Structure formats: structure tokens, C-alpha cells
Structure 1
Amino acid sequence: MSRRTAERGGGVTFGHTELPDEQSAALRRAIRLAWGTIGFLLVGVTLVYLVMGSSQAMKAAWAEDLLSFIPPISFLVAVRFARRRPTTAHPYGYHRSVGIGHLVAAAALLTMGAFLVVDSGSGLLAAEHPPVGVMHLGDQVFWAGWPMIAAMVVTGIPPVLLGRAKMPLARTLHDRVLYADADMNKADWMTALGSVVGILGIGAGLWWADSAAALFISVSILRDGITNLRVAAGALMDARATTVDGDEPHPLTAEVDERLRALPWVEDARSRIRDQGHVFHVESFVVPRGGRAPGLRELGDAREAAISLDWKVQDLVVVPVAELPEEMLPSVAAEAGEDEQRPGR
């Protein structure tokens, strides 16, 4: 057993990385929540389908519920693949399955969101008047909008609770598929509220309220698709490692450099980190003091010092160099200059 494995003991692995106890417990809970989400969606999709009638807002909400199956299924599949150990054919392991799952979910959201925007927008422009009739339950006759509203209330609250439960787990596991799923779940209250407003609008004689609510839901789906597609594509194109939400550079980059610079034989160090999915692959370039070539023990100790920082640092390569290769490690200022020169900026 390696020193790194001995320090952990979570019993669950991603590739050849054994997870600490906190991440192992988070993964087990996330898997239970994913299965729970799928079970709830099966009930919710059926319920909404039975009462949606000809309401555009209800149809958009139903489509969003169908799309909500993709992230938890993608998460479960990605986790199953990510736990496989590296092979000769896949020496880096199967961690990229997380990025693939994220990309599939984002593409589905973008495609369906664009379709629904066109569909609901055309209904609004065509001034379609969706009929909401009455329903019979025994001898009772009542407006069909009430079951629609009840269905949206019943199916709108649990996803919010599920999303709040998944969000901290996604950060703990650095899992973008789980994060996208949690983010969608947390925003489901807007879908439910939009549908309720649209249905009440029909009841009040505002024919345009239903299509307007459907357009609101569709734009929300489209926005989620664009945001997630940007983050997923960036990760697969080896963009610099960022936090799980994709908003900020991951602090591990600076922490690895600081740890290496603290070594007595290192004058300077800079790293580039490739986000493999749950874990990182790090290439660290170090400049030895006085131009002295480090020994094998020093290089090994440097690697262990950096790896011990965080469980996500799965692979790390230490490369001694005479000077830092700027062409491989562009500065932040240089990156900002390139961004300013890009078209549309």
C-alpha cells in the first residue's frame, strides 16, 4: 500500500486515487440522491403529462422534467466509468467520462431550450388562445386549471430540496455533472411558478399569459444549456482548472506552486493543471537554485509534497528547467491581452 493510500482509507476509488472519508461519504450520498431524483421524476413526469392539456406552459414544464432525467443518469454513468482503474489503452484513467456526461447534458438542454423558445415564441406571435376546459370527477365539475396548478406545486418543491442537498456534495466531489443537476433542481421553482402564473392568466382571460410563461421557462432552459456547454467544452479543451461552477481559477494551482517554491532547492515554480473530471493532472516546471540538477530523491519528495495537498491531485509531473517556459505557461497578463484582441470584445 502506498503512503498516499495509507493516509486515506475511504474505501472508494476514482481510478487509482482512494478517496478520503469525507469524499467517500459524499459520493455514496450523491448516488442515493441521483436514484431518488430519477424515481421522483418518473412520478412527476407522469403526473404533469396527465393534467397538462393544451397549455404551452405545462408542455414546456413537462419537457424540462424530461430533460431533468439526463443529469442524474449522466452522473451515475460517469461515476461508474470514473471508478475504473487506468489501463494500457487509457493510461490517464476514465475521469473524462464526467466531462462527456456534462457535455451531453448541456447539449440536450441547449437543443431543447432553443426548440421550446421557437415553439412558444411562435405561439405568442400567432396569438394562440389555449383552451382550458373543465374536468369531471364523479358528480363534481371543476376547472381543469386547478389540477394543473396542484401538479406544479407538488412537483415543484421536491427538486428544490434535492438541489440544495446535491450542491455541497458536488463541490466536495468536484463533480460538474452533479453541480449542473443541482443547479437545475434549485431553479425548478421558477418553472413551477411560471406555469402557475400562465395557467392563472388563462383563467383570468389573458390568452397571452400561457405562451409568455412557456417562453420564460424555455429561455431558462436555453440559458442553462449555454452556461453548461461553455463550461463543459472548456474543460474538454483543457482550459485551466477552475472551481466546479467554472467561475474562478481553482486555488490548487497557486497552492501547488507555493508548496514547490517552499522547497529549499527550488528557486521558482509554475504549474499547469488539466482537469480530468474529478481529479487533476499537474505538470510543474521548477527552476533549481544555482542551476544545480536535483537528484531523484529531491524530485520524488517534491512530487509527494504537492500530491499531499489535496486528493484531487492524482498525477503530478515535476520538470526541472533552466528557466520557466513562458510559451507553455502564458502569464495572466498575456491571457488578458489575448482576450481583448478576440473578435467581439
Structure 2
Amino acid sequence: MLRKNKISSAEKGAYISIVAYLFLAALKLTIGHYGNSQGLWADGLNNSTDIIASIAVLVGLKISKRPPDDDHLYGHMRAETIASLVAAFIMVSVGLQVIIGAVQSFIRPDQETPGMLTAYTALFSALFMLGVYLYNIRLSKRINSAAIHAVAQDNKSDSLVSIGAFIGIIGTKFGLGWLDSVAALAVGLIICRTAWSIFRDASHTLTDGFDEALLQEINETIASGDRVKATSDIKARMHGNEIFLEATVHVDPQLTVIEGHDITEEIENTLQEKHHIKHAIIHVEPHFITNKN
């Protein structure tokens, strides 16, 4: 129930981002087109990809709420990660389109100077997305959601992109007509870089990659148990936003089965409290000390 409540809160953050991106994409594409700003138009396309990415996250969150079934015994939590891959492919295609358009604008001789309305729109958009970012980053910390944290980081990058578009438009007012096209090129590169980052993280997770530093920290937590003599064979992987962990602990061979079971429960409770790990399989092995002369 607690996980479903967290996912519902995460869905709210995704919905807010979708509505914000719909509004800003329509605003920027319209004013960017009629105001002759390549940078603002590219920023509007960027927000269009953000709509798709946010919808992908939302769909992934909804699928991840489904309980385990006959052919998904571990549940559906990896749907979020798969949705991120889909969003990354869409984003890179739009990013390349923006880059091509920016390059073409360099060789277009009849490009008009953007109107000041486009600059005001870019500045307003930057402040608007900054507000959305602050909401989502606080939400992600409150519910410990990696998905919404990623959405928040995307919100922040969009705010920075709009600031870049604003600077490019203002530059044209000082005779630097090429600066607006440079801003569009920068937006395209940022879109592709964000897409690569999402693809890299998602593929790393889907291939059971895990943070080595975090794994070492978890190992130290397990080893700190009062009756744990040693640890071995510790491994972990991400399943959606949840950590699935396996580890072997070596204990006094004279302990009873019940005492060994109590040790595993103590470790599992500690892992949940300290690292929010709810899925841990702890194996118990006898610890033998070999004396060497």
C-alpha cells in the first residue's frame, strides 16, 4: 500500500510536468515561429520531446503498480526503465532535427531578427520551469522516487535551455544575428546529451549494473551486525526503483537454525531502515577460522 501511495504521488509530479510542457511547447512554437526566433522554436521542440518523455514515465509508473502475476513473479517495476529507453530514442531523433535546422539557419541569408516578444517568452518559460523543478525535486525527496528525480532534473535543464534561448535572442539585438542560431544548436546538443544520459542509465540498469560504491556501503552495513563474522557473495541489482539484494553472512557454526534466522531478520530490518532495501535474501554459512603456523 505504501509503495502504491508513493507511485500515485509520483504520477502527480509526472502529470504536472506534462501539463507544463504542453503549455510551454504550444507557446514557444507559436511565438518562435511568428517571432522569427530559431532558438525559441528549438526550445519549443525540446518541450515537445519532454511531453513524450513525461508520458513514458507516467505509463511506466502505472504499469509498475501492477501486482506480480503468473509470468511476472517479480512484478512489473522495470516498466519505468523500459519507458525511459523509449523516451531516449524519441528525444535523440528530435535533437538531431533541431541541430540540422540550426545549421541550415546559418546559411539562410534572409533570416529576420527575432522580436522582443520571443525574448520575454523565453525568460518567462525559464522562470516557469524553475518553479516546476522546485516542486518535483521536493516531491522526489519526500517519496524517494528516482523517476520523479529524473523528471525534476529534466525540468531544471529546460529552465537553463530557455535562459540560453533568451541570451541568444538578446544577442541579435546587438547585431549578433548568428547568436540565435547558436542558441538553437546548443539546444539540439543538450537534447541529444540528455537522451544519451537517459539511455546510458536505463541500459546499465536493465543489464543489472549497480553502483559499486553503494554496494560497498551496503556490505559494510551487513558486516557491522553483532553476530556477523564475515560476508561474501554480495550482489545487487535494480528492479525499477527497488534494490534486490543477495548476500552470504558467515556466523558462529554453533548457533541454532532459529538463531541464524534471527540474524537474517535483523540484517533485513537494518537494510530497510538504512538503505530502504525491502527485497533482501541473506544466506547463512558457518564461519570457520583456519589456523596457519
State the TM-score, normalizing by the size of structure 1. Answer: 0.72
Q: Which residue of 2 aligns with 1:316?
A: 280
Deviations 1:259-306 (A, max 9, x none): 355242x321142111112211111122333xx386543443233223
Asked if 1:297 corresponds to 2:287, the answer is: no
Amino acid at match of 2:31: V
Deviates more, 1:215-224 or 1:230-239: 215-224
Q: Which residue of 2 aligns with 1:13?
A: 3
**Contact 1:238-1:274 within 8 A present in 2 as well:** yes
Mapped contact 2:126–2:162 kept (Cα < 8 A): yes
Residue 256 of structure 1, CA deviation:
5.2
Distance in 2, matches of 1:295 and 1:257, equals: 25
1:44 aligns with 2:14: no
| Other-structure match for 1:206 | 176
How far 1:321 moved relative to its partner? 4.8
Pick from 249, 263, 272 the counterpart of residue 286 of structure 1: 249
Seen in structure 2, the aligned counterparts of structure 1 residues 261 and 189 have a Cα distance that, compared at 3 Å, is closer
Provide the residue aligned with 1:63 in structure 2. Answer: 45
Question: Is 1:103 the counterpart of 2:85 in the alignment?
Answer: yes
**Preserved contact between residue 279 and residue 313 of structure 1 (Cα < 8 Å):** yes
Question: Is the Cα contact below 8 Å between 2:172 and 2:179 reproduced in 1?
Answer: yes
Equivalent residue of 2:229, what SS? strand
Is 1:31 the counterpart of 2:11 in the alignment?
yes
Gaps of 5+ in 1: 1-10, 15-23, 133-143, 243-247, 324-345
* Letter aligned with residue 259 of structure 1: I
Q: Which residue of structure 1 aligns with residue 291 of structure 2?
A: none
Paired AA for residue 79 in structure 1: L
Kept in 2: contact 1:195–1:210 (CA 8 A): yes
3-state SS in 2 of match to 1:269: strand
Deviation at 1:79, TM superposition (A): 2.0
**Contact 1:175/1:278 (8 A) holds in 2:** yes
CA distance in 1, matches of 2:188, 2:178: 15
Q: Gaps (5+ residues) in structure 2?
A: 288-293
> Distance in 1 between the 2:123 and 2:50 partners?
17
1:262 aligns with 225
**AA of the residue aligned to 2:57:** F
Code of the residue aligned with 1:302 in structure 2: it is I
- Deviation track 1:205-263 (CA, whole Å, cap 9, x = no partner) reads 333112111111112222212222211111111111x4xxxxx7336x53455335524
Which of 220, 227, 231 is the aligned partner of 2:190? 220
Shift of the 111–301 alpha-carbon distance from structure 1 to 2, 3 Å rule, reads farther
Mapped pair 1:146 → 2:129:
no
- 1:95–1:277: 8 Å Cα contact kept in structure 2? yes
RMSD over aligned Cα, in angstroms? 2.7
Partner of 2:111: 130
Q: Distance in 2 between matches of 1:158 and 1:211?
A: 23
1:237 equivalent among 198, 204, 207? 207
Structure 1's 184 and 13: CA in aligned 2 closer, same or farther, altered over 3 A?
A: closer
Shift of 1:171: 4.2
The TM-score with structure 2 as length reference comes to: 0.83
C-alpha distance in structure 1 between counterparts of 2:260 and 2:78, whole Å? 28
The letter of the residue matching 1:55 is S
Aligned partners of 1:307 and 1:114: how far apart in 2? 47
Alpha-carbon distance between aligned partners in 1 of 2:168 and 2:109, rounded to the nearest angstrom: 13
Deviations 1:165-195 (A, max 9, x none): 2224334544333222111111223221222
CA contact (8 A) 2:85 2:202 kept: yes
Return the offset for 1:322. Answer: 6.8
Paired residues, what number?
Answer: 281
Structure 1 or 2: larger helix share?
2
